[in-house]
Amino acid sequence: MKINWGTGIVIAFIAFIAFILYFVIRMSTDDQANHDLVTQEYYKRELAYQKEIDASKSAMELGAKLKLEKSEEGITIFFPEKFDPKKITGIVSLYRPSNKHLDLDFPLSLSKTHLLIPDNSLVDGRWDITIKWQYEGNNFLFKERLTY
C-alpha cells in the first residue's frame, strides 16, 4: 500500500493531536504537578493590598527598618533598637513559592531585639519573608526575598 502526501499529512496531524491530548491528560491527573493559586485567598489578599502599602510606608517614615542576616544557625531578624521588644507583636510568614507545604507562619513575641529562625525549619532555595508587626498602635510591614 502506497501512502500519498495527503494521507501522510493527516497521519502526522492525528499523531500530533494524540500526543498533545496524552500530555494534557497526564499533566492534569498527575499528583506531582501542583496547579494551585499562589495563595488560597488570592482575591481577599488583593483587596487588602492598600493596607500593606500604608504599613510599608509607615515603617519607612518612622525608621522601623528591619535587617535580615543569614548565619549557620538560621536567619536572624533584627528589629530597631529604639523599640521596646516586649511591646512588639505580629506574625512572621515564610513563603516558599515552589512548595506550599513548606510555608511557615508563626507569631512574633520578642524578649530581645532580634529573632532567630532556626536552620532546621528552612530548606535551601528561595523564600519570601513577610513580617507584619505592631508597636504601640502603629502597623508595620517588612517584605524581602532571599535565597537560603
Residue 86 is given by DSSP the state: G
pLDDT of residue 62: 72
pTM for the predicted model, two decimal places: 0.64
The reported pLDDT for the residue numbered 35 is 57
> What does the CA dihedral 74, 76, 77, 78 come to, rounded to 10 degrees?
180
For 64-115, how does the pLDDT look when each residue is reduced to its tens digit (9 = 90+)? 788 888 888 888 888 888 888 888 889 999 888 877 788 888 888 888 888 8
Compute and round to an integer the Cα radius of gyration of the chain.
24
Residue of 3 and 10 predicted with greater confidence: 10
Question: How confident is the model over 36-57, as pLDDT tens digits?
Answer: 656 667 777 777 777 778 777 7
Q: Where are the domains of the chain?
A: 1-33, 42-147
Per-residue confidence (pLDDT) for residue 39, from 0 to 100:
64
Is the pLDDT at 119 greater than 90? The verdict is no
Evaluate whether 87 touches 136 at the Cβ level (below 8 Å).
yes
Task: Place domain 42-147 in its CATH homologous superfamily.
Answer: Immunoglobulins (2.60.40.10)
